[in-house]
């Protein structure tokens, strides 16, 4: 198994089919196969396309974008743990127990973390959260289907 613990932007592109403006992982900063855990960052700048229409007078990152970022990190997480699935597509199948604790604003760095996973019948489930400056912004259980 590849034990590389960080991934830069170019390496992330090799794991994900997503591209600008819908790529929400800037860098993987930590990965552990045992216990399974992955952490990444996303730097939200005022140039993000969604800020133009999402409360333009008081821009905040939409909650669904935070969940999408966790889902994208989940794809990288699973493919790092199971390289035999590297060429497969992953589709978001569900979100459970989603909670939003604080807004994320332009100029902030979001830390995304996933811990543990369950895998059965081409369905993966993991749980994680997004934090900014040590304060939890969002959390959820992410469910994906492999095709």
Q: Give the separation between CA 79 and CA 117, rounded to whole angstroms.
A: 12
Residue 64's CB: how many other CB atoms inside 10 A? Answer: 11
Domain coverage including residue 98:
9-146
Residue 54: predicted pLDDT: 85
77 in a structural domain: yes
**Per-residue pLDDT tens over the stretch 102-133:** 999 999 999 999 999 999 999 999 999 999 99
Total tally of structural domains belonging to the chain: 1
3 in a structural domain: no
65 in a structural domain: yes
Model confidence, pTM: 0.95
Q: Give the separation between CA 103 and CA 125, rounded to whole angstroms.
A: 25
In the predicted model, residues of the chain with pLDDT beneath 70 are 1-3
CA distances in angstroms from 26 to 22, 58, 122, 124, listed in the order given = 12, 24, 27, 23
136 in a structural domain: yes
110 in a structural domain: yes
Query: Three-class SS of residue 57?
Result: coil
Where in the sequence numbering do the catalytic residues fall?
54
Q: Give the separation between CA 94 and CA 59, rounded to whole angstroms.
A: 27
CATH (domain of 59): 3.10.129.10
108 in a structural domain: yes
């Amino acid at each position: 198994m590849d034990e590389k613990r960080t991934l830069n932007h170019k390496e992330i592109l090799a794991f994900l089919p997503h591209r600008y403006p819908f790529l929400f992982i800037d860098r993987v900063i930590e990965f552990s196969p045992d216990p399974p855990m992955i952490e990444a960052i996303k730097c939200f700048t005022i140039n993000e396309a969604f800020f133009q229409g999402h409360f333009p007078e008081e821009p905040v990152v939409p909650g669904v974008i935070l969940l999408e970022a966790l889902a994208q990190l989940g794809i990288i997480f699973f493919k790092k743990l199971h390289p035999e699935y590297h060429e497969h597509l992953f589709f978001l199948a569900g979100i459970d127990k989603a909670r939003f604790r604080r807004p994320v604003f332009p100029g902030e760095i979001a830390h995304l973390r996933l811990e543990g996973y369950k895998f059965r019948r081409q369905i993966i489930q993991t749980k994680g959260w997004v934090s900014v400056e040590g304060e939890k912004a969002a959390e959820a259980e992410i469910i994906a289907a492999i095709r």
